[in-house]
């Protein structure tokens, strides 16, 4: 798929991201498969004048060492490693990571955070003087979750604190900016770690769904690649059913069958095909598996009860009804039930519209009605 189609409808988002990076490091959030990674890849290939961008995917890592090694490797791949600056590594003799000073003398490993600061210092030294570095860290919350599961909360808190320090080690305008992304809201995770102060320098930007015009165009172009035309009503229905998600718009287009001109009824048929028992795994990762992985069996079950209650109503459910489910099913106090509801909002399962909570993704709501109660 070409870049133009992959980034259809995202021109303004990309321009705004570049403009904001000039002044801030950024926290980029949004639902899964909404296009955050595609935006980061675009920044890497077209960073804008005066910038070099390096993207690092942190999902799947469960240690600080692994993340540091991956970041250093990606900087080297971008031509910003020690080989690019000759003896720069030898000239960087003293590094201070947070409150701890570390000497580069001797062969003892100074630790992962000192190595990361050194790698960034070398990368900045390798850049021309009129360029800055944008370090794009993808799926940070998943990495922090893995740190918590592998050890204790202290490592995850330390990671947030050290990244904050590296963004602005001297309290001056740095040549380094960071973009941290995640389909799980980092703010809620930082709050649970008592580390909200470590991300308050980040400018939060939420990447929303494609607007109606871009969503319809994407659906039409996907069909035309297969020689299928469609009515305006069909394209409108696809955009609405997919919740404006590029991924699900394209998947719906792929499920249009047996016609050379798609109608709205063909979109409904495509939805039914996606709900086939053989395809029930399509949403399982962001359904049950996600809740169990992040929250464990007990809290995961509570969150599932809330989602099941919300799934029965296309236009959403009042907050009181969802809180009542948590209070009756799990015996929670009201504050705990409210926190569960906000967690489902933070993780882009639900959104609040006019006092009612509804599924962000209408396709996921359909799936949840059919398969959400399975063990």
CATH code, domain with 227: 1.10.8
Residues 16 and 105 in one domain: yes
Q: Which pLDDT does position 184 carry in this prediction? A: 78
**Is pLDDT of 102 > 50?**
no
Decide which of 258, 274, 290 is a domain's last residue.
Answer: 274
Residues 30 and 84 in one domain: yes
For 373, the token pair is 């109660």
Q: Which domain holds residue 142?
A: 3-206
Average pLDDT over residues 112-140: 95
**Residue 327 confidence class, pLDDT cut points 50, 70, 90:** confident
- Tell me the CA distances in angstroms from 347 to 232, 299, 307, one per residue in order: 32, 14, 12
- What percent of the chain is predicted at pLDDT more than 90? 70
Residues 290 and 367 in one domain: yes
pLDDT tens, 275-313? 999 988 888 887 788 888 888 889 998 899 999 999 999
Cα–Cα distance measured from residue 290 to residue 27, given in angstroms and rounded to the nearest whole number = 21
Q: What is the pTM of this model?
A: 0.89
The chain-wide mean pLDDT, for the chain, equals: 89
Residues 183 and 51 in one domain: yes
**Residue 94 confidence class, pLDDT cut points 50, 70, 90:** very low
**Is pLDDT of 101 > 80?**
no
pLDDT tens, 231-275? 999 999 999 999 999 999 999 999 999 999 999 999 999 999 999
Domain count, the chain: 3
CATH code, domain with 335: 1.10.10.10
Q: Any residues with CB less than 8 A from the CB of 80 and at least 6 apart, and which?
A: 52, 54, 122, 123, 126, 127, 133
**Residue 373 confidence class, pLDDT cut points 50, 70, 90:** confident
**Residue 86 confidence class, pLDDT cut points 50, 70, 90:** low
Residues 323 and 351 in one domain: yes
Largest Cα–Cα separation, the chain: 71
Cα–Cα distance measured from residue 215 to residue 245, given in angstroms and rounded to the nearest whole number = 8
Residues 163 and 268 in one domain: no
Q: Which pLDDT does position 99 carry in this prediction? A: 42
Decide which of 188, 206, 224 is a domain's last residue.
Answer: 206
Decide which of 206, 231, 258 is a domain's last residue.
Answer: 206
Q: Which pLDDT does position 169 carry in this prediction? A: 58
**Residue 89 confidence class, pLDDT cut points 50, 70, 90:** low
- Tell me the CA distances in angstroms from 95 to 48, 58, 89, 166, 184, one per residue in order: 30, 24, 11, 11, 33
- Tell me the CA distances in angstroms from 289 to 286, 292, 371, one per residue in order: 6, 5, 13
Stronger pLDDT, 171 or 62, i.e. the higher one? 62
Residues 266 and 219 in one domain: yes
**Is pLDDT of 67 > 80?**
yes
pLDDT tens, 182-236? 877 788 889 989 999 999 999 999 999 999 999 999 999 999 999 999 999 999 9
């Amino acid at each position: 798929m070409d870049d133009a189609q992959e980034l259809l409808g995202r021109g303004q988002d990309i321009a705004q991201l570049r403009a904001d990076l000039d002044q801030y490091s950024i926290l980029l959030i949004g639902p899964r498969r909404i296009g955050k990674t595609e935006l980061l890849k675009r920044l890497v290939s077209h960073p804008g004048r005066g910038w070099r961008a390096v993207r690092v995917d942190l999902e799947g890592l469960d240690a600080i060492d692994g993340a540091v090694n991956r970041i250093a490797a990606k900087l080297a791949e971008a031509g910003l490693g020690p080989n690019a600056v000759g003896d720069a590594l030898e000239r960087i003799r003293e590094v201070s990571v947070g409150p701890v000073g570390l000497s580069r003398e001797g062969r003892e490993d100074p630790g992962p955070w000192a190595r990361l600061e050194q790698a960034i210092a070398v990368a900045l030294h390798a850049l021309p003087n009129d360029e800055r570095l944008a370090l794009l860290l993808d799926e940070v919350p998943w990495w922090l979750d893995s740190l918590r599961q592998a050890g204790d909360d202290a490592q995850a808190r330390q990671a947030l604190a050290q990244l904050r320090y590296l963004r602005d080690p001297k309290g001056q305008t740095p040549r380094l900016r960071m973009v941290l992304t995640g389909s799980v809201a980092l703010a809620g995770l930082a709050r649970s770690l008592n580390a909200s102060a470590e991300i308050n320098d980040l400018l939060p930007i939420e990447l929303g769904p494609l607007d109606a015009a871009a969503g319809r165009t994407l659906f039409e172009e996907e069909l035309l690649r297969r020689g299928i035309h469609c009515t305006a009503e069909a394209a409108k229905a696809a955009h609405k059913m997919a919740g404006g998600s590029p991924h699900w718009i394209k998947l719906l287009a792929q499920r249009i069958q047996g016609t050379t001109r798609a109608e709205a009824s063909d979109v409904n048929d495509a939805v039914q095909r996606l709900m086939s028992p053989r395809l029930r795994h399509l949403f399982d990762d962001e359904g049950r598996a996600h809740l169990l992985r992040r929250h464990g069996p007990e809290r995961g079950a509570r969150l599932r009860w809330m989602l099941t209650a919300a799934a029965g109503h296309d236009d959403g459910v009042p907050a009181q009804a969802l809180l009542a489910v948590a209070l009756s099913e799990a015996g929670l106090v009201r504050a705990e039930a409210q926190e569960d509801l906000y967690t489902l909002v933070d993780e882009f399962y639900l959104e609040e519209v006019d006092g009612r909570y509804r599924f962000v993704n209408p396709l996921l709501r359909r799936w949840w009605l059919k398969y959400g109660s399975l063990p």
